Amino acid sequence: MRTPIIAGNWKLNKTISEAVALTTELRDLVAGSKGVEIVVAPPFTALDAVSKVVNGSNIRLAAQDVYWEDSGAFTGEVSVPMLKDIGCDYVIIGHSERRQYFAETNQTVNQKVQAALSHNLKPILCVGELLEEREAGHTEKVVESHVTGGIKGLIETELLSCVIAYEPVWAIGTGKTATPDQAQDVHKYIRDLITNTYSKDVASQICIQYGGSVKPENAAELMTQPDVDGALVGGASLNAESFAQIVKHAL
């Protein structure tokens, strides 16, 4: 049985005081929720403050990106040991915004995934096609390259520490959610890919989240799909009430 994971990707939003207020409200709203992994991913500047608010609660902390070297002359970067030190359990890697605006490739994504795993930080590996790729019938090809490129070289136990987030780029921040059937088709495709490259056992255990305009109104229907194991939420995670409602739909 897979535990669903509901993660809030705050992107480039929230000052420290705003982040503390949002997390404190959320912590009270989801207190006692069991059977779901709840994760928030504030910007780097707010990680320390949010870490103190979630300490001892049922909310886990994630960063939105990481660099693959532990230390050294890499101005502006943040390493895996630094994120562990601050209390992160997860890190989002390969989000489409990083692929689009910051030249992230399957190769750099894979280096980050490997670095995270080497220090027991769990990667949330984001994969997903652009609108023109879907329209050209290339969804599976793109998703396959993101998945196989991102997890390249991982042994089974390492893969099982990863979460895969399917986020069709055309559904991110657009209000256009994939239909439950569209999401299910790609999630099943990813699970079959894992079956073929690893095993049915590994595929049946790995958590595959959906992301892209998830809101309280559409979360329940998406999460009843057999291969959808939770959500990676952007805009709706910036409001404690709406994020908490999405968490409740995963129970």
> Which residues are the active-site residues?
95, 167
207 contributes a contact to ligand 13P by CB under 6 A: no
Query: Residue 124 interacts with ligand 13P (CB under 6 A)?
Result: no
Q: Which span (50-58, 76-84, 133-141, 208-216) binds ligand 13P, by CB under 6 A?
A: 208-216
- Span between the terminal Cα atoms of the chain, in Å: 13
Instruction: Rule CB under 6 A: say whether 9 interacts with ligand 13P.
Output: yes
- The one among 42, 43, 211, 230 contacting ligand 13P by CB under 6 A: 211
> Around Cβ 199, how many Cβ atoms within 10 Å?
12
Closest CA to 65 of 36, 96, 28, 35: 96
Shortest distance, position 238 Cβ to ligand 13P, whole Å: 9
173 binds ligand 13P (CB under 6 A): yes
Angle (deg, nearest 10), helices 44-54 and 16-30? 30
Q: Using the minimum distance from each CB to ligand 13P, give the nearer residue, 3 or 174.
A: 174
Check binding of 61 to ligand 13P (CB under 6 A). no
Subset of residues 225 to 244 that bind ligand 13P, contact rule: CB under 6 A: 232-236
Under rule CB under 6 A, residue 5 binds ligand 13P: no
Among 37, 167, 227, 229, binds ligand 13P (CB under 6 A): 167
For ligand 13P, the binding residue among 4, 150, 212, 216 (CB under 6 A) is 212
Of 10, 2, 6, the residue nearest 234 (C-alpha): 10
CA distances from 110 to 66, 67, 96, 107, 217 (A): 12, 11, 14, 5, 34
Least Å from the CB of residue 95 to ligand 13P? 6
The nearest distance, CB 127 to ligand 13P, in angstroms, is: 12
Rounded alpha-carbon distances, angstroms, from residue 133 to 141, 150, 168, 202: 9, 19, 10, 28
Q: Where on the phi/psi map is residue 128: left (φ > 0), alpha (ψ -120 to 50), or beta? A: left
Give the nearest residue (CB) to ligand 13P.
234
DSSP-assigned letter for residue 90: E
Map the footprint of ligand 13P across residues 62-121, applying CB under 6 A. Answer: 95
- DSSP tag of 3: P
- Residue 167: φ, ψ to 5°: -130, 95
- What is the helix (H) or strand (E) element at residue 220, kind and residue range? helix 216-223
Q: Is 214 one of the binding residues for ligand 13P (CB under 6 A)? A: yes
Interface with ligand 13P includes 194 (CB under 6 A)? no
125 versus 194: smaller Cβ distance to ligand 13P: 125
The nearer residue to ligand 13P, 212 or 216, going by C-beta atoms, is 212
Coil vs helix vs strand at 116: helix
CB 206 within 8 A of CB 191: yes
Binding residues vs ligand 13P (CB under 6 A): 9, 95, 167, 172-173, 211-214, 232-236
